[in-house]
Structures are given as C-alpha cells and as structure tokens.
C-alpha cells in the first residue's frame, strides 16, 4: 500500500496553475476581480489529480466561458477551475445519442448534432456558454430547455472521483437544477457536471442546419451579441417576460457607470467598455427594485454573482 502512495505522490500536475488571475479575462462581461487560484486542467485525469490534492483548502468554482457569471471587483478567494477548451470531447453514441464533456461550447454541440443528422439539440446554438454551464442551470433558448434531452451524466467530486448519475437523481425546474432531497452529494458544492449524454432523434442534416441558421439570425437581430454581456440577466416570471417589464418601466438604455441596459434587448446588460463589476451589480439591483416598485413583481436573477463584497 505504501508503494501505491509513493507512485501517486510522484504524479505531477500537467495543467496551468495561475495565482491572482483577473476574472475579467474569463467572463463574457469582461469585468471583475481576481481569483486567488485559477487552474486549467490538461484533461480529465489531470483534473481528478488536482482535485484530490485540494481537499478542504478553499471553495471550488467551475467556470466555462463565464457567460453567466459576475465576479465582484474585490475578487474571489477560491479555487477556480476552467474547463473551457479543455474538457472538449464530443462524440456520437448508439441510439441517436451524443456524449459531450462540460467544456464544449453549446453552439458547437448544436452544430455537431446537426452534422450527424440528429435532431433535438438545435436550440443549443442560442446558448452562449459551455455545455457544463447549460447543464448546471437548465439553460434554454428558443422555447426549449436542455434537461428534457439529458439521458445520463458524469460528475466529479471534491476528491477527484468520477460518478455516473441519471437525470432522475436531480430535481429540475425553470433555470434550476438541484440534487434530489436526501442525496449524499450537493451539485455545485462538492460535485460538478463534467459531461453528459443527450438523447436525440433521427433527423435530416439540412433541416437541422437550416433551423440553426434561422435561430442565429433571430438571435443576432434581437440580442446585443456584439457587446460584452452575460445573456439574460433575469428569469422570465410566470406568464410574462422580464424584458417586457424592464422596457415598460422605461429602463432601456439606463446606465450606471459603464454598465447599461441594452437598447436592443432590455433583459441584457452590456459593458460599454469601462464597466466595473460593481457598476453591473448596482444596475442589476436597480432594475430589480424599479420593476418590483412598478409591477410588484420580484424578478429572480439568472446570472450568478460571486466573490467578496469590497
């Protein structure tokens, strides 16, 4: 047994370890403070080894393309693990299934599925983040959500151990994913999604590609895709749209510092170039307050805000 321990101790990490890394480089809002430890694993085995060495050191945060994330200006005393561009395996499996790792960008997954003449994943082209992020929040676009097509999942725990889970291990809601009550793990706290199999249907490549094309054209026409943003800031309240409420409240174009409510889509906040995370967070809170005062509706944030309050 001692011998096995020695071999393990000799295993060297192969990923990239950075300290005090500016998270503005890793979030789509291009704003925010630094992460005390930032790790980009070389692959799945390297990620397992890294996690096994971090036990109880600091909280762990997984990040993909950072398209749904705001890190406060005072930074983050945590271990940030970036899977984007690393956990990027994607392959066709039997029975019209696709397996993808968490670092695969959602639009790439949509295009890959279409190319394999599989239908049902076209809407993923409208989700700007990685597949792992889409799984973690039950992301949706064009009237579809990701969890109805999830067959089974691969997770990794804080000790670097890999687990197989099925969709039935989770309670799924609108933009919300939780482990079932009484589970022996907490998703997003001590276990994270690193891959999943999607159940699709036999399709026609041209049809799927056409669908993707029109989704993207619509998205380009209705969303500020050319400016730094984090997608929809608030969830849509039952029977209504957050964007409609924000627009009727007269907040389109309203700015705090370098952060502005988009003129193109009122549920998007854009960084006009100089926004701090604090500008963005203050604007989110202001929009929330105005909508609540005007319509007595409590908008629920879709964007994750993490980090130390300055």
> Of these residues, 106, 232, 262, 278, which one is catalytic?
232
Active-site residue flag, 16? no
Active-site residue flag, 93? no
Q: What is the crossing angle of helices 106-115 and 205-222, to 10°?
A: 150
Write out the E strands in 118-224: 118-119, 140-141, 144-145, 150-157, 162-166, 170-173, 176-179, 191-199, 201-202
> Of these residues, 122, 179, 281, 302, which one is catalytic?
302
Residue 201 burial (10 A CB sphere; 0-12, 13-18, 19+)? exposed
* Pair 222, 244: CB distance under 8 Å: no
Distance CA 237, CA 140 (A): 15
Distance CA 159, CA 162 (A): 9
The per-residue DSSP string of 285-297 comes to HHHHHHHHHHH--
> Of these residues, 72, 165, 175, 235, which one is catalytic?
175
- Please give the helix or strand (H or E) that residue 96 lies within, else none: none
Q: Which of 194, 196, 164, 193 is nearest to 99 (CA)?
A: 196
Measured in whole angstroms, how far is the alpha carbon of residue 128 from the centre of its chain?
8
Active-site residue flag, 208? no
Strand-pair category, 140-141 with 144-145: antiparallel
With H, G, I as helix, E, B as strand and everything else as coil, classify residue 23. helix
| Number of alpha carbons in the 13 Å side-chain half-sphere of residue 7 | 4
- Show which residues are catalytic: 175, 232, 302
């Amino acid at each position: 047994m001692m011998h096995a321990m020695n071999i393990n101790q000799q295993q060297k990490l192969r990923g990239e370890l950075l300290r005090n890394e500016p998270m503005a480089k890793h979030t789509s809002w291009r704003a925010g403070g630094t992460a005390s430890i930032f790790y980009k694993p070389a692959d799945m085995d390297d990620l397992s080894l890294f996690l096994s060495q971090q036990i109880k050191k600091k909280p762990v945060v997984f990040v993909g393309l950072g398209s749904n994330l705001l890190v406060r200006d005072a930074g983050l005393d945590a271990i940030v693990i970036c899977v984007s561009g690393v956990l990027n395996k994607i392959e066709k499996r039997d029975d019209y299934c696709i397996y993808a790792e968490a670092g695969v960008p959602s639009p790439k997954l949509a295009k890959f599925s279409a190319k394999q003449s599989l239908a049902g994943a076209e809407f993923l082209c409208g989700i700007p983040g990685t597949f792992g992020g889409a799984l973690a929040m039950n992301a949706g676009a064009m009237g579809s959500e990701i969890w109805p097509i999830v067959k089974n999942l691969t997770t990794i725990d804080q000790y670097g151990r890999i687990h197989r889970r099925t969709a039935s291990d989770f309670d799924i809601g609108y933009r919300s994913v939780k482990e079932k009550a009484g589970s022996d793990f907490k998703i997003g706290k001590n276990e994270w999604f690193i891959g999943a199999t999607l159940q699709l249907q036999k399709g026609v490549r041209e049809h799927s590609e056409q669908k993707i094309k029109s989704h993207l054209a619509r998205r380009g026409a209705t969303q500020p895709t050319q400016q730094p943003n984090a997608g929809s800031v608030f969830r849509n309240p039952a029977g209504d749209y957050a964007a409609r409420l924000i627009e009727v409240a007269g907040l389109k174009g309203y700015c705090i510092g370098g952060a502005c409510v988009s003129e193109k889509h009122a549920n998007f906040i854009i960084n006009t170039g100089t926004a701090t995370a604090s500008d963005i967070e203050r604007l989110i809170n202001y929009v929330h307050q105005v909508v609540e005062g005007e319509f007595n509706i409590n908008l629920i944030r879709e964007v994750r805000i993490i980090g130390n309050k300055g």
